[in-house]
Structure 1
Amino acid sequence: MSYMYVAMISLLVGGLMGLLQVLARSGEFELPWGINYYTILTVHGVILALVMTSFFIIGFQNALMGKTIGFSKKQLNWAWVGFWIMLIGTVIAAVTILIGKANVLYTFYAPLKAHPLFYIGITLVVVGSWVTAAVNFRQFYLWKKAHPNEKSPLLAFMVIINMLMWCIATIGVATSMLIEIIPWSLGYKNTINVLLSRTLFWYFGHPLVYFWLLPAYMAWYAIIPKVIGGKIFSDSLARFSFILFLFFSIPVGLHHQLTEPGLDSTWKFIQVILTFMVVIPSLMTAFSMFATFEITGRKKGYGGLFGWLKHLPWKDVRFLAPFVGMLAFIPGGAGGIINASYQINTMVHNTIWVPGHFHLTAATTVVLTFFGIAYWLIPHLTGRKLTDAVNRLGIYQTILWGVGMTIMSTAMHIQGLAGAPRRSNFSDYGGTEQAAEWGAYQMAQAVGGTILFFAILLMIFIFIKMIFFSPKGEQEFPIAQEEDHAEPTPKWTENWKLWIAITLVLILFAYTVPIMDVIQNAPPGSAPFDWPIGS
């Protein structure tokens, strides 16, 4: 619950910053009190993309581990250590942003330089997550030791995959922080290898997307079937899809750097190919989910080609919110293919198309699934019931979110195709030809963003109501069982040494030569501009 409190406070703060952004970009609203546009942009990105997601995910995963394999007192104490380290880091980073000393966007690209405390705070968030990961690994190891011939619980298996991916990926951003960025921001170094820092960031930045997505997949695979009265289509397929995500989520960061000079085009192309491999487990997931929906409907007696759709509990927000997220992932995934395509990427790279894509995937697919989880997890943890009234409010909130995001994201995509840059305050273009061309899209984003902010306020109201005002009782923790006649799960799915070895080999193959090139061929004085702090 402590993780959930931080996540919801972050949602409110980050959402307010997003509202101010879209209003300022519309050209019809001026930020009050001399607020810097790039300050609120940085707050919005860091608080929502890094803080809100990380706290919700780790809290949710701890709930899954506690429910499936249990916590010892010692493990729980260490889990609290991880939480407090993350929270302290979050507060330090947030303060430096809010006082205008870290206007560096959530990607914190050099040569933009923030106050050292910003980087130290973000690093503490990562370190705290490592402590929690170590607790999860220890829990899983002890469970396997006590149950040597048993298949591990599916949700525990999925948590371990996600935390393995996270730990391997965050080595990149931690290395960049400790070796380059923090010494540079402290004044111990006058220059920095900009390309190396960006390459290490995107080594982490792309698996960050899957760190957001895989907990949503956990709910889709193993919780939604229970909510709709069905069973898991295939335990084996679910595990294998997560193993493939572990393989192909990390060695693909160069597809975020396709337009950057200094990186060999051959290695960019290789990583583009590896990126497209992620389509396979994504399609496996889509197949598994709709197979679950259809089989459950057939068992309930619904015939016809699409008769099974009728059985789905459309009036249950625990299902509706994640299902709307699933639908958003269809255009979101298509946009991701465009972003990762070697040549088509040049048309949309660094345009507002890219934030439009993020708002479909992270801010709709992932966040709506998280909301769907919250509707049963919060009452379960607080000993209360999900009432009909809260369920109805949740349905309204889901509809508001879907409508607002559709309007805003569509406008972003169209404006991006027209060449509008990302990370820019379009009110600065006032009176220009671009302002006239983009005006309608900017207003659409303001309308969509305003609707989204009302949806956020409604979610916060629902959160408070579930904690303090819902009637006391027991709320189900819905974990589905596997289909009765499903094929048994092969033991090789838990060959952890093999999966980790393959992951490391793929990473070494994809990154060794590019990083050596970046280091060996760095120009003298890689970042000659020692920019003022906070610039």
Structure 2
Amino acid sequence: MTTIAEKTKDLVRVDKRDGKLALAHIYVAFIALAIGGLCGLLQTLVRSGTFTLPWGIGYYQILTIHGVLLGLILTTYFIFGFQIAVVSRTSGTLTDKQRLLGWIGFWTMTIGTTASSIMILLNEASVLYTFYAPLQAHWIFYAGLALVIVGTWIGGAGLISKYVEWRKANPGQPSPLLTFMVVVNLAMWIICSLGVAVEVLFQLLPWSLGWVDKVDVLLSRTLFWYFGHPLVYFWLLPAYMVWYAIIPKIIGGKIFSDSLARLSFMLFLLFSIPVGFHHQLTEPGISSFWKFLQVVLTLMVVIPSLLTAFSMFATFEIRGRALGGKGVLGWFKELPWGDARFFAPFVGMVAFIPAGAGGIINASHQMNQLIHNTIWVTGHFHLTVATTVLLTFFGAAYWLIPHLTGRVFTKQMNRLAIIQTIVWAFGMSIMSGAMHIVGLFGAPRRSDFSTYGGSAQATEWIPYQIAQAVGGTILFIGIVLILYIVANLIWFAPKGETEFPVAEVSEHAEKTPMALENWKIWLTICIALILFAYTVPVIEIIQNAPPGSIGYKLW
């Protein structure tokens, strides 16, 4: 009997039906980039003090659109489109039922996205992408967010089903690496999004409908950040998928170690969720012991991050020396710097070095006091998701979209993509750099110029606010360029075959232990860490909740 592994061994193209589903997600992602990017440009102009929004549009209105569409919608849709294509390519064509789940999930997400976006545009939900209480939005905004989350669960169920199907057909064999990585990311997403689902369904939605008069703000924030920090790794792990399993193929090399890649993903699963309190270090009502514990767990993610850095640069060096690179760094110049599919993700990797350093400061118990709630945090955020993650996603789009549309990434588009990457990196260096510097001077995040304009301290901040506007303008040019490239790859590029690059594991790598796919072990450890980190402090929050707050009533 032919196994699924044998059937997919020579698979080159993603099935057109699966490709259509993946492309639907990617289309929405880039529409969100266009709208959210424009709002980002307007934000920087307003903060510079040189621009006033027309037609009564509010600053926090465009801030919310920017955050929701780029931080939540762009990332989630592109990730699901990418993951659908990855699973179809490495584990075989989705079944009709699995594909149906994907479409149901897509339309559920899209209905929710549309509903929430309309409320923001009507200025009924200017509550930022974190939608903290006591800021209150229209109930349709919260209902829309709930639909987005439920839609991801439905679509994710189809992909997990494919993984289970492969494992049953191939007992005793490690699953395809990319499919395994997708399932780890989905497991993390489902576990962490339970927190924000509880917050929305049992606190914010009843509160906005007027069913209750009060909401426990501390419990609300705790539930959000139980979700909010793993959200960062939900963005980051698909970028790691590209780095580990696709970039080696693009540069002509092989995966350094399958085992190391799987181990790093499992460690991210364990240490990305029970760490939300490091976003709440200045908040009363949470014991310093539990804050410190979660700071320690937060810093544990340094381990899989360093494993990834070691693996990637080992891959680069091995390939560079195979191409003739000599000396300590001679291999470096042999890498394919003229290939945007490599260049864009590599620039994203480089950006992750200062981003990671900034993350250590953000999570540190004492250093956080200096930069907490300043625009330093916004600068850090733009180095991680808006540079490391997005540049990797752009690099993936340069082969993924033409593969799915049956077109070719031409030399002309490749040159333009190289320019786009340079423009993006340059603009982000100016904007994020200015945010980091003025953040150290105490400039607040989430504030427009009118909030603090006129004071002596604000006057000192003006040059940095103008620098942010300059950087934001350059970044918007980068958005226009990537949208032009994507439109070309969808509709105008020459017809042809584009490879879906999946690297092979090096013949020198150790055999992958099956223990890395023993989900009973890893999920048990994950849940134990979550319960250990959250059970006592959440009980204390509920016990001390104000009488009549919904957090109190729930229990």
Task: Give the TM-score of the pair, scaled to structure 2.
Answer: 0.94
User: 2:519 & 2:212 partners in 1: Cα distance?
Assistant: 40
Q: Aligned pair 1:23/2:45, yes or no?
A: yes
Distance 1:426 1:527, change over 3 A: farther
Q: What's the CA shift for 1:527?
A: 9.3
Q: Secondary structure at the match of 2:336?
A: coil
Q: 1:335 aligns with which of 342, 358, 364?
A: 358
Q: Secondary structure at the match of 2:173?
A: coil
Q: 1:359 aligns with which of 358, 382, 388?
A: 382
Residue of structure 1 in register with 2:527 after alignment? 504
User: 1:111 & 1:435 partners in 2: Cα distance?
Assistant: 27
Q: Aligned pair 1:52/2:64, yes or no?
A: no
Q: Aligned pair 1:286/2:322, yes or no?
A: no
User: 1:308 & 1:526 partners in 2: Cα distance?
Assistant: 62
Residue of structure 2 in register with 1:398 after alignment? 421
Residue of structure 2 in register with 1:94 after alignment? 117
Q: Aligned pair 1:184/2:207, yes or no?
A: yes
Contact 2:344-2:392 at 8 Å conserved across structures: yes
Kindly provide the CA deviation profile for residues 308-343 of structure 1, in whole angstroms up to 9, marking residues without a partner as x.
101111010000000000000000000000000001
User: 2:446 & 2:333 partners in 1: Cα distance?
Assistant: 43
User: 2:508 & 2:57 partners in 1: Cα distance?
Assistant: 61
Q: 1:103 aligns with which of 126, 131, 143?
A: 126
Contact 1:194-1:527 at 8 Å conserved across structures: no
User: 2:127 & 2:491 partners in 1: Cα distance?
Assistant: 38
Contact 2:120-2:126 at 8 Å conserved across structures: yes
Q: 2:83 aligns with which of 57, 61, 71?
A: 61
Q: Which runs of 4+ in 1 moved over 4 A?
A: 525-528
Q: 2:437 aligns with which of 411, 414, 433?
A: 414
User: 1:348 & 1:367 partners in 2: Cα distance?
Assistant: 25
User: 2:173 & 2:452 partners in 1: Cα distance?
Assistant: 63
Kindly provide the CA deviation profile for residues 166-194 of structure 1, in whole angstroms up to 9, marking residues without a partner as x.
00000000011111110001000000010
Q: Secondary structure at the match of 1:91?
A: helix
Unpaired segments of 5 or more residues in structure 2? 1-22
Structure-to-structure mapping, 1:467-486, within 5 angstroms: 467-486=490-509
User: 2:284 & 2:454 partners in 1: Cα distance?
Assistant: 34
Contact 2:90-2:179 at 8 Å conserved across structures: yes
Q: What's the CA shift for 1:523?
A: 2.7
Q: Secondary structure at the match of 1:384?
A: coil
Amino acid at match of 1:496: W
Amino acid at match of 1:89: G
User: 1:352 & 1:270 partners in 2: Cα distance?
Assistant: 26
Unpaired segments of 5 or more residues in structure 1? 529-535
Contact 1:221-1:238 at 8 Å conserved across structures: yes
Distance 1:131 1:527, change over 3 A: closer
Q: What's the CA shift for 1:525?
A: 4.8
Residue of structure 1 in register with 2:473 after alignment? 450
Q: Aligned pair 1:36/2:55, yes or no?
A: no
Q: Aligned pair 1:495/2:543, yes or no?
A: no
Corresponding residue pairs, total = 528
User: 2:84 & 2:187 partners in 1: Cα distance?
Assistant: 15
Residue of structure 1 in register with 2:10 after alignment? none
Amino acid at match of 1:173: V
Amino acid at match of 2:460: E
User: 1:219 & 1:6 partners in 2: Cα distance?
Assistant: 21
Kindly provide the CA deviation profile for residues 477-501 of structure 1, in whole angstroms up to 9, marking residues without a partner as x.
0100011121111111111111111
Contact 2:195-2:227 at 8 Å conserved across structures: yes
Residue of structure 1 in register with 2:157 after alignment? 134
Contact 1:26-1:427 at 8 Å conserved across structures: no
Q: Aligned pair 1:298/2:315, yes or no?
A: no
Residue of structure 2 in register with 1:277 after alignment? 300
Contact 1:111-1:527 at 8 Å conserved across structures: no
Q: What's the CA shift for 1:298?
A: 1.5
User: 2:338 & 2:450 partners in 1: Cα distance?
Assistant: 42
Percent same amino acid at aligned positions? 65
RMSD: 1.0
Residue of structure 1 in register with 2:33 after alignment? 11
User: 1:39 & 1:178 partners in 2: Cα distance?
Assistant: 23
Amino acid at match of 1:96: M
Q: 2:276 aligns with which of 249, 253, 259?
A: 253
Q: Secondary structure at the match of 1:501?
A: helix
Residue of structure 1 in register with 2:13 after alignment? none
User: 2:35 & 2:128 partners in 1: Cα distance?
Assistant: 16
